[in-house]
């Protein structure tokens, strides 16, 4: 019994320490963006790089932990926007705006997750290329959005396949348009949201909600 309690305390302490290290990594990423290094993160956390490797393995492991942390938070916000008590067009706009507001609020985090470092800070560190690892993150967002669409909209006999197509298509659109907008700022966020919603508003506006479901 005592050994079980001790193991639980050790597990809790390890999880707490891991959160602290991820928060230190977040601070460095907010400052340095894609150029964030393991050396800088270890220094921010007040530890040596070997200790950081002990927790995450390498920069790829740290990246995946940060990606999960931020993707989990974004998915919670997107689901809240989709489930808000409003008519469907407004919820679509709110969902698009939630994504764009997230990348606008923390552009350095977004660039770290989605882009390799620039020439001033090499894109690889011990064989790790940030840009090469962004595809799984986008695939996860696409699959999660597909589940939401399938739960809320009746798309007929091929509903599941159509929901996956739409989920990945919408995520791809949001990512590409958001990436372009964040770099150039050619219009307001509100204008971009409205224009993207117009693009989506063909078949989606005519589809029926699933009976007994939360709607879309």
The ranges assigned to domains in the chain are: 2-209
Question: In Å, what is the CA distance from 37 to each residue of 28, 58, 166?
Answer: 8, 11, 36
CATH classification code of 2-209: 1.10.357.10
**Residue 205 reports pLDDT greater than 50:** yes
Half-sphere exposure of 122 (CA within 13 A, CB side): 6
CA distance 97 to 118: 28
**Residue 46 reports pLDDT greater than 80:** yes
Mean pLDDT score of the chain: 84
Question: Which segment of 45-54, 120-129, 165-174, 180-189 scores lowest on mean pLDDT?
Answer: 120-129
CA distance 51 to 47: 7
The percent of residues above 70 in pLDDT, for the chain, comes to 87
CA distance 76 to 151: 16
């Amino acid at each position: 019994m005592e050994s079980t309690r001790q193991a639980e305390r050790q597990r809790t302490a390890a999880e707490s320490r891991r959160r602290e290290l991820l928060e230190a990594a977040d601070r460095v990423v907010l400052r340095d963006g894609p150029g964030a290094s393991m050396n800088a993160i270890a220094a921010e956390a007040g530890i040596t790089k070997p200790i950081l490797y002990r927790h995450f393995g390498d920069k790829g492991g740290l990246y995946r932990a940060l990606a999960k942390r931020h993707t989990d938070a974004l998915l919670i916000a997107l689901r809240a926007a989709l489930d808000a008590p409003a008519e469907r067009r407004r919820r679509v706009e709110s969902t698009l705006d939630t994504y764009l507001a997230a990348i606008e609020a923390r552009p350095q985090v977004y660039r770290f997750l989605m882009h390799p470092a620039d020439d001033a800070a090499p894109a690889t560190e011990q064989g790790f290329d940030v840009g090469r690892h962004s595809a799984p993150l986008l695939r996860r967002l696409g699959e999660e959005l597909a589940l939401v669409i399938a739960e809320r909209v009746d798309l007929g006999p091929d509903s599941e396949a159509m929901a996956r197509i739409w989920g990945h298509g919408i995520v791809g659109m949001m990512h590409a348009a958001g990436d372009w907008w964040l770099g150039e700022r050619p219009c307001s966020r509100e204008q971009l949201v409205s224009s993207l919603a117009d693009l989506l508003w063909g078949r989606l506006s005519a589809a029926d909600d699933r009976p007994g479901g939360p709607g879309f």
